[in-house]
């Protein structure tokens, strides 16, 4: 027997109200400029454990490898990341993502860090990239391969269409930090890497350095504006059909 129209309308309204009232996914920006994995470990209790995230995105490595004032040896870098992973597992974090360092423009960085002990900064960064890959494999964790994604989209980091800020696209000899479009690419990669793990009401903590912070972007240090946590929040909180279409 068909239900009266008034009942069917009521059921539709209730269902629509239920979907509309679904708790949003909370994305928190815990990036700090200049930070290494050692700095991240020192604030881990405050910025991760205290927040008890459902999902954690870790992105360290560029300062560890290239910031001549704060260099972290490879073995220490590995140990620091492993400690973060172990502590996240004790928290019962559902998803722990490791991220490979984005490509850089080594010539720009060499000018800013003339006392760096390594001559080939690009090759040196690849050693830290390899540690991230190894840790993801050893710990059976999802890897957000940001290096590959950026290089696939534009292999020439000094081109105007590079996703890294350079003289051609921003009149800045930056060579490390993404453009606004680059931050969107990071967010999209994180959505793909998270897959279907994130549910309404979940909390996602983005932990890292100035790239997570969103250096040079509107909303830097927050999950608003043009930062990758902001773009990630937008993608995760879209209508599921729309989010799927955007992937």
Contact status, residue 178 vs residue 164, Cβ threshold 8 Å: yes
Residue 60 lies in a domain: yes
Q: What is the pLDDT of residue 13?
A: 43
Cβ count within 10 A of residue 70: 13
Distances (CA, A) of 61 to 73, 101, 127, 240: 11, 6, 10, 33
Residue 143 lies in a domain: yes
Residue 57 lies in a domain: yes
Residue 2 lies in a domain: no
Whether pTM > 0.75 for this model: the answer is: yes
Residue 196 lies in a domain: yes
How confident is the model over 71-126, as pLDDT tens digits? 999 999 999 999 999 999 999 999 999 999 999 999 999 999 999 999 999 999 99
Q: What is the pLDDT of residue 1?
A: 47
Is 85 exposed, middle or buried, given 0-12, 13-18 or 19+ CB atoms closer than 10 A? buried
Q: What is the pLDDT of residue 242?
A: 42
Q: CA 90 to CA 130: how far, in whole Å?
A: 25
**How many structural domains is the chain composed of?**
1
Residue the block writes with tokens 């998270």 = 194
Q: In what order do the strands lie in the sheet with 26-31?
A: 26-31, 203-208, 55-59, 95-99, 143-144
Q: What is the pLDDT of residue 239?
A: 53
Residue 155 lies in a domain: yes
Residue 6 lies in a domain: no
Q: What is the pLDDT of residue 143?
A: 98
Interhelix angle 228-236/180-194, rounded to 10 degrees, is: 50
Distances (CA, A) of 154 to 74, 123, 141, 160, 181: 28, 19, 27, 10, 12
Cα–Cα nearest to 204, from 181, 227, 230: 230
Range of the domain at 188: 24-246
Residue 17 lies in a domain: no
Question: What CATH number is attached to the domain comprising 70?
Answer: 3.40.50.1110
Point out the residues of the chain with pLDDT beneath 50: 1-2, 5-21, 240-247
Q: Which two tokens stand for residue 33?
A: 């400029």
């Amino acid at each position: 027997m068909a239900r009266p129209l008034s009942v069917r309308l009521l059921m539709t309204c209730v269902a629509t109200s239920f979907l509309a009232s679904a708790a949003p996914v909370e994305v928190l920006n815990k990036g700090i400029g200049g930070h290494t994995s050692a700095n991240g470990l020192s604030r881990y209790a405050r910025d991760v454990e205290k927040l008890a995230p459902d999902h954690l995105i870790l992105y360290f490595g560029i300062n560890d490898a290239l910031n001549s004032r704060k260099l972290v040896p490879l073995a220490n870098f590995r140990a620091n990341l492993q400690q973060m992973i172990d502590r996240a597992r004790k928290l019962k974090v559902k998803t722990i993502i490791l991220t490979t360092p984005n490509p850089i423009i080594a010539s720009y960085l060499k000018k800013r860090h003339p006392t760096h002990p390594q001559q080939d900064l690009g090759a040196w960064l690849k050693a830290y990239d390899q540690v991230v890959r190894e840790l993801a494999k050893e710990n059976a964790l999802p890897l957000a391969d940001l290096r590959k994604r950026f290089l696939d989209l534009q292999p020439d980091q000094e081109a105007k269409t590079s996703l890294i800020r350079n003289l051609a696209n921003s009149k800045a000899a930056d060579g490390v930090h993404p453009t606004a479009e680059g931050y969107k690419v990071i967010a999209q990669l994180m959505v793909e890497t998270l897959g279907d793990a994130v549910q309404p009401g979940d909390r996602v903590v983005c932990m890292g350095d100035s790239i997570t912070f969103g250096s040079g972007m509107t909303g830097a240090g927050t999950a608003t504006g043009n930062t990758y946590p902001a773009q990630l929040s937008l993608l995760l909180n879209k209508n599921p059909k729309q989010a799927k279409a955007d992937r």
